[in-house]
Amino acid sequence: MPLLVIGTLAYDTIETVHEKRQEALGGSATYFAVAAANFATPRLVGVVGTDFKAEHLSALRARGIDCDGVEVAEGKTFRWGGRYEADWNTRHTIFTDLNVFEHFDPKVPEAYRGSRYVFLANAHPSIQLKALKQVEEPEFTVADTMNLWIDIARDELLELLQHVDGLILNDEEARMLTGESNLIRAAQRVLKLGPSKVILKKGEHGAFLLGDDVHFSLPAYPIEDVIDPTGAGDSFAGGFMGYIASQDSHAPGTLKRAMLYGTVTASFCVQGFSIDQLGACGMPEIEERYRDLLSIVSL
């Protein structure tokens, strides 16, 4: 089942208390697509600059990701720099250089317009909406966002929320968007803004899903050797949406299982820089960790 994703392809500079990595392949759509490719065929819509390495596009294609919607524009690829505190949950954005992403006018290729499952990965909400409007009859659309857009593009984000079925955001972003400090109240407030489902991520404390017909909560998969949490949210979304697309269903039971798959793909992501570990795991490793997570949360 194809799964359309629109978002960033990036080069990231990451600093942790142990290590620094420069110009690592990243981006919201990259992490999402690599995680989702285990379950479905991601169709990637995004933009890169002329400096984007051909080997990185081939690496994505080799994982079964359809990159025909990736445009190459004159200029530099989106770049982001972040630093983590020792607790891993505190992240500081050092810089965001939009570069070619600043004037990105998303064009969803004709062949992608019938996609039933759509993920609007982290990007300016007007770009997300512009892309979504080109999809003919999406069955289930979920969007991600972040503090930067809540801060500088709140009205556009509120408009986007009228057109999506689900929103994924982290605890800090949920508080910022709704003004509620209690996370359940914040999630309930999001549901009043348009989406029928909200997923609230709480870093190493897991995630919960709240919707009109579903309420489900999960801890993160316990990882002792975290290397770099960048992309954890996007790879969670990739496992979540990939599983939903593979089942061609967004019924409550499917959504709950999708939460487990998302938790598992995110856990592989944090075990390496960039897509090093996430890209190295396949369905057997994912299924093994899924069973393990299930046994951790079952009586």
Residues engaged in binding ligand AMP (CB under 6 A): 8, 10, 12, 26-28, 80, 96, 122-123, 146, 148, 230-234
- Select 76 or 116, whichever has its Cβ closest to ligand AMP: 76
What's the min distance (Å) between Cβ of 142 and ligand AMP? 14
C-alpha distance from residue 218 to each of 204, 209, 222 (Å): 11, 9, 11
Q: Which is nearer to ligand AMP, 38 or 274 (CB)?
A: 274
Choice between 88 and 107, CB closer to ligand AMP: 88
Phi, psi (5° rounding) for residue 276? -50, -55
Q: Which residues pair with 43 in a beta bridge?
A: 4, 66
First-to-last CA distance in the chain? 34
Q: What's the rounded Cα separation, in Å, for the pair 204 and 41?
A: 28
State how far the Cα of 54 lies from the Cα of 33, in Å rounded to an integer.
17
Backbone angles phi, psi at 117, to 5 degrees: -115, 130
Q: How far is the CB of 107 from ligand AMP (least distance, A)?
A: 18
Q: What is the CA radius of gyration of the chain?
A: 17
CB of 146 to ligand AMP, least distance (A): 6
Q: Which is nearer to ligand AMP, 236 or 290 (CB)?
A: 236
Q: Which residue is nearest to ligand AMP (CB)?
A: 26
Nearer to ligand AMP, 13 or 249 (CB): 13
Q: How far is the CB of 257 from ligand AMP (least distance, A)?
A: 21
